[in-house]
Structure 1
């Protein structure tokens, strides 16, 4: 690439093409708070020349999962058409082309862009199939300098991977500017790809899917058996293989096959396995294209008012009731890949027929598709949601063992597999993670500036303190991270115990504390299993002790003589939400789904959530003053167990304060939270304890009327009413008079009183039990 000559920052983006991908990319740009111009063709019919782009935005506002993180983000999208508004690209710093995968149409658009864009403006294609060299053929040197491929994955908001391909003429500064933007602003992990067919993830992923389908037909494996063997045991999405094809669309398979077979060399292994199945062709023709169609390899049969999950029989082509094979047991069921491919019978045969070729193929594309094994692993983990990348899988099996098996099966053994021998592709040397390179040497896995991962901290240090449910880690610069370590990061007495120990420890030897972990979710809330056990033996004093212990721990954090910053991501529910509410500040990942969900299991927030929500709404400058508005808003949110769908939405609901930060890239969350904590150290003073003036019984009566109205309309069950009345009792201050002043301790006592009445109620106990058994709320 030419030397860095581009210094422009990206303040406005243009996306051309308002289909699913283009519209989704535009939405993610808007989610980052950046204005975006969305253009498409002028429709053949109607008077509205912007109808295509406008319709895409309108559709996204109704789509679930939502492309927009908040409705406010949609206001940043300006719509237009390429006939009337193409000159507006001159206002933009980056133009993303996301139109149909036809070279002639793309090149025609590029010729028009050359005439109207501002010199130095980055131009990229979202293509997943067409080489960069073909895209820029015939364009000027100036256009080639500013051009690259930015391959997003669908849906753009939720998939973290972006593959970036730079050509030999691409300006280094332009490429770096786009990389920086998609990383920090759009929250993507950049993987550098070479200009080869299918790039990385789709090339390996398409091979894997094709091989798995072929093997199921060839070995007589049922849809359900294939998904059980090739799903969770291999660490791929829980949908399993055929469930995944249903999700992405069965009709996409022929297009991927055609694309790769037309561009890959004739001796590429994929050319040998690419084949069509008559049964699948018939399914597509008849509209059985997966979840978006009449059904796919699975469908829900609703005949006669029922709801029966059915699976396609790969031999007869008919649907039948879906089975649960239960074939994979022992270590293999828990992800031991060597055990899985070594099992006797159909399990081992199918597992090997899928994994052996897929891992061999993944190893064969280094360095053709990407320079390092890390690039392949990141692409498959982020683009296809694999828990482990192909080379991490090879390490789990053993490279030497894999080579032996490949040779026995007469499968190709790529050079890098021969090269690594009996070593591993990853190792830790002096606390530093390293990977095996194509030069036969190990190299450090380097993190971008501003990325701090707890997994790296753990390689070089021991915890400051830990117990069975939590740990404290020194993350540098005088900051300690509190990590939850239990199943689903559930919160229990051990967590509360470590919090109480952390306060004097941080006060003595450190500057600040960050609440953070690297699980799938921040925290699912209190450990309901322990609570259910205590209820079953009527250990009410232990239940109350647990509630008061949680309150004490959270308030110890709130009033600690140092800053406490919570860094939630994913689900932050119940007690996981309450620890955030009791922190000095929150630095949330953009994909944070936070809420006080206790009413769903028949109880109310017990660790200070009620008082904290009232305080937040009382402090909200855009909310009416007086005791009742804050109480009503808090009641509305808590009684309906509202869980927001993004950090941006969390600000609208009061879970996040307007001063709290949002991090778009998950890998940057800990660093950002640490910096926020450090920025608060100088002159830090613990918050003053709040006082409450609440409406009392008259306010509770008003809330009760509202709940009874919902009950009368069939929108609330009898026990919903009971739980809501207890919640109203707490939020309105119990039997207080409106002129009385309640302390924070008074509010905490009210929480305990109401909580203990509810846990003794058999209907609440049924809700807890049902949640533990099914993972779903019981409406009783």
Structure 2
């Protein structure tokens, strides 16, 4: 059976329900949002555009959400394809609502419950056969837009085709990472995550560690988020955590496990006092105003229950983890140091690894599912079994045995069979431990892994320290950046030029994408600053020309080019995408020409491309370009960055030909598919265009606006200088309004302005400041 999921309903307009409705709207799905009273749903929808972090890609997407009440609008549920119940976490409340839904749902409507741990099977008891076949759990993690994990929890009655349809829909349309979980208390991620947090609390109490010490160990040093243990608990809400822990405490038949999930007394005391974390203003941390008026973060002493400014922990283990590279290196370094902090790390980690192994088969079928759940749901860099591989399975198990810890029988058997790791790879294929032997990780066709491809002989066509050209199949190659932070320097520019020639001769098309944390944070600012401080102006000029020439070569390639940026795509990263025939934005792409923040203007073609697009998109040769140029000027001058992929359209960065892909893991496959489609359609490169500009009169309008901002105290004198140079470039220089100019002419204007600003002491101060602190300097 084929399922069409084109319209949805969410019942419950609280934080979670409205967040799920918002993400459905992000995916373009009209959604009915119901609550006990219509005004509750109306209020929830009204809050969405004002909520931070933003649950919507674009504020306008809220129009896809229609508020209503359960009593008045229940009959409308017959018109939707998917109903998601998101009411209070009480079994009896959910069952009563599901009974009403059963009476009105369509025969093929899928119904799911968003629960963090209540039995899905228990909810479906007494429902009709058709309901039970179409019912399952869909546990979204909060906030739904940003958290990748979605746990799908079928019951014994759920139709397997419904599970398959929901998995495919949620992965492709909602961009989720799906793990199919067993119907056990807290499912997968919360089961292991809650266990780990409770173990941490007990080890803290046993060893006399402070809140600050525990968070120093259980954050990035252990391959976990910066929020570590106690900032995470404050964000989640201590009352919510106690409730989730109670699911296992009341649902397990194992006395030892029940003891672990019995919430420690200090945590219960905080909940009784109403110190619930961020939502109540204090929890394990509290923010106060210091004597100087600045915010100060205080941490809680669990013995005295008093707050104070904590001390930054220091020790051999902490320092070793800081110096190590990558999550695997950091955790090995942390455990390898012989101090109280490495002991704390081990005492937290060892029980979690053993617990994950013990629950394999009970909460999820595979080690891969458990690892993915923890990476996607708790933002761990490594799942439990990947962590075990990193520290050495055999060596760590020997240490566990020596400490009297119980080792799961299947782990003992795995090692006895001569296996040393839970994962293995061979010729680009990856395998994981399963049922006593290795099973291949079956990558969906939509997921192309450059890392895996590069393990296959002959897949790397060209390479240098900054970038590679990788064969991704079907005569398409991918230009991958892999310099530090993917910053664009000479290596990448050289590879672009070489790659263009290679593609021209031997390939059907080119994809520009990578698997870095961010697509590209811009040009190599350190190199530019060093040359400027040494007053090597010819070298600065050469670097800019090299950048511009590489971008123009990419644009002139006789084969289709598709760029697929993701996450931070700034400055030169934007300019590396602009020459492409299609830019395939990941839904979470933060895209912006931000050079003014370091005292410069875009000079790799960014200004030229914005002017060109405005000229090309004019409805007629007589259309007034000034309003569009004003908007582009504001976007660049204020270094505006899109808050999502779709929001790039609102800032003028997205063309009609550009696209958005919801699942970041699908971007390379989709980019390749688009390149092939262009080739099959008989691709021909666009001819060089003349650009109609607003000229000196238009520049005067832009400069007047900037002057008014200066007079109003909104910008500094140096900001005004930058704005005037930007206005000169965007307007097309000292030519009459309506003049037609060449692309190279605007590139020359960019380069001249960039060079002159590079020589300004205040620009150099801005560059130095952002390199040192990561924050812009307003001078």
Under a length normalisation based on structure 1, what TM-score does the superposition of the two structures give? 0.96
Separation of aligned partners in 2, 1:340 and 1:770: 31
State the Cα deviation string for residues 649-681 of structure 1 (Å, max 9, x = none): 112222111221111111111100000011111
Contact 1:490 1:525 in 2 (8 A): yes
Q: 1:694 to 1:346 in 2, by over 3 A?
A: same
Separation of aligned partners in 2, 1:270 and 1:531: 60
Does residue 1:179 correspond to 2:167, yes or no? yes
Does residue 1:670 correspond to 2:668, yes or no? yes
Bigger shift: 498-507 or 236-245? 236-245
Does residue 1:232 correspond to 2:220, yes or no? yes
Query: Which residue is 2:639 aligned to?
Result: 641
Query: Which residue is 2:396 aligned to?
Result: 402
**2:569 alignment partner, one of 560, 572, 576:** 572
Separation of aligned partners in 1, 2:573 and 2:149: 28
After TM superposition, give the deviation of residue 250 of structure 1 in Å: 2.5
Q: 1:286 to 1:333 in 2, by over 3 A?
A: farther
**2:422 alignment partner, one of 422, 425, 429:** 425
Does residue 1:81 correspond to 2:69, yes or no? yes
State the Cα deviation string for residues 534-568 of structure 1 (Å, max 9, x = none): 12222221111111110000110001111111001
**1:655 alignment partner, one of 653, 656, 680:** 653
What are the ranges of 5 or more consecutive residues in structure 1 without an aligned counterpart? 1-5, 43-49
Query: Which residue is 2:341 aligned to?
Result: 347
Does residue 1:156 correspond to 2:155, yes or no? no
Query: Which residue is 1:3 aligned to?
Result: none
Separation of aligned partners in 1, 2:115 and 2:364: 17
Query: Which residue is 1:39 aligned to?
Result: 34
After TM superposition, give the deviation of residue 621 of structure 1 in Å: 6.1
Query: Which residue is 1:618 aligned to?
Result: 615
User: Residues 86-165 of structure 1: matches in 2 within 5 Å?
Assistant: 86-165=74-153
Separation of aligned partners in 2, 1:618 and 1:364: 64
Secondary structure, aligned partner of 1:61: helix
Query: Which residue is 2:554 aligned to?
Result: 557
Secondary structure, aligned partner of 1:367: coil
State the Cα deviation string for residues 176-211 of structure 1 (Å, max 9, x = none): 221121111101111111111111000000011111
Separation of aligned partners in 1, 2:540 and 2:282: 47
Query: Which residue is 1:727 aligned to?
Result: 726
Bigger shift: 515-524 or 164-173? 164-173
Q: 1:473 to 1:389 in 2, by over 3 A?
A: same
**1:291 alignment partner, one of 255, 263, 278:** 278
**1:386 alignment partner, one of 350, 357, 380:** 380
**1:629 alignment partner, one of 627, 630, 647:** 627
User: Residues 186-205 of structure 1: matches in 2 within 5 Å?
Assistant: 186-205=174-193
Does residue 1:440 correspond to 2:439, yes or no? no
Q: 1:207 to 1:668 in 2, by over 3 A?
A: same
**2:352 alignment partner, one of 358, 361, 380:** 358
Does residue 1:14 correspond to 2:9, yes or no? yes
Separation of aligned partners in 2, 1:405 and 1:81: 58
Secondary structure, aligned partner of 1:75: helix
Query: Which residue is 1:696 aligned to?
Result: 695
Query: Which residue is 1:367 aligned to?
Result: 361
After TM superposition, give the deviation of residue 622 of structure 1 in Å: 8.2
Contact 1:650 1:656 in 2 (8 A): yes
Does residue 1:300 correspond to 2:287, yes or no? yes
Query: Which residue is 2:319 aligned to?
Result: 329
Separation of aligned partners in 2, 1:8 and 1:330: 53
Separation of aligned partners in 2, 1:698 and 1:353: 70
Separation of aligned partners in 2, 1:155 and 1:692: 44
Separation of aligned partners in 2, 1:380 and 1:183: 17
After TM superposition, give the deviation of residue 712 of structure 1 in Å: 2.1
Bigger shift: 143-152 or 460-469? 460-469
**1:207 alignment partner, one of 173, 190, 195:** 195
Separation of aligned partners in 2, 1:429 and 1:388: 20
After TM superposition, give the deviation of residue 332 of structure 1 in Å: 7.0
Separation of aligned partners in 2, 1:708 and 1:277: 62
After TM superposition, give the deviation of residue 387 of structure 1 in Å: 0.5
Does residue 1:707 correspond to 2:701, yes or no? no
State the Cα deviation string for residues 10-53 of structure 1 (Å, max 9, x = none): 111111111111111111111111111111112xxxxxxx1111
Separation of aligned partners in 1, 2:148 and 2:499: 34
Contact 1:617 1:633 in 2 (8 A): no
State the Cα deviation string for residues 660-709 of structure 1 (Å, max 9, x = none): 11111111111000000111114211112222232333222221221122
Query: Which residue is 2:600 aligned to?
Result: 603
Q: How many aligned positions are there?
A: 766
Separation of aligned partners in 2, 1:38 and 1:445: 38
Separation of aligned partners in 2, 1:512 and 1:308: 54
State the Cα deviation string for residues 316-343 of structure 1 (Å, max 9, x = none): 3322223222321235752433442242
Under a length normalisation based on structure 2, what TM-score does the superposition of the two structures give? 0.96
State the Cα deviation string for residues 274-323 of structure 1 (Å, max 9, x = none): 33233x44443444322232233233321431332322233333222232
Contact 1:434 1:444 in 2 (8 A): yes
Contact 2:698 2:737 in 1 (8 A): no
Separation of aligned partners in 2, 1:561 and 1:493: 24
Secondary structure, aligned partner of 1:460: coil
Query: Which residue is 2:748 aligned to?
Result: 749
Contact 1:186 1:664 in 2 (8 A): yes
Contact 1:287 1:294 in 2 (8 A): no
Query: Which residue is 2:510 aligned to?
Result: 513
After TM superposition, give the deviation of residue 253 of structure 1 in Å: 2.2
Secondary structure, aligned partner of 2:24: helix
**2:479 alignment partner, one of 462, 477, 482:** 482
Let me know the Cα RMSD of the aligned residues.
1.7
After TM superposition, give the deviation of residue 429 of structure 1 in Å: 2.7
Contact 2:189 2:377 in 1 (8 A): yes
Separation of aligned partners in 1, 2:256 and 2:588: 39
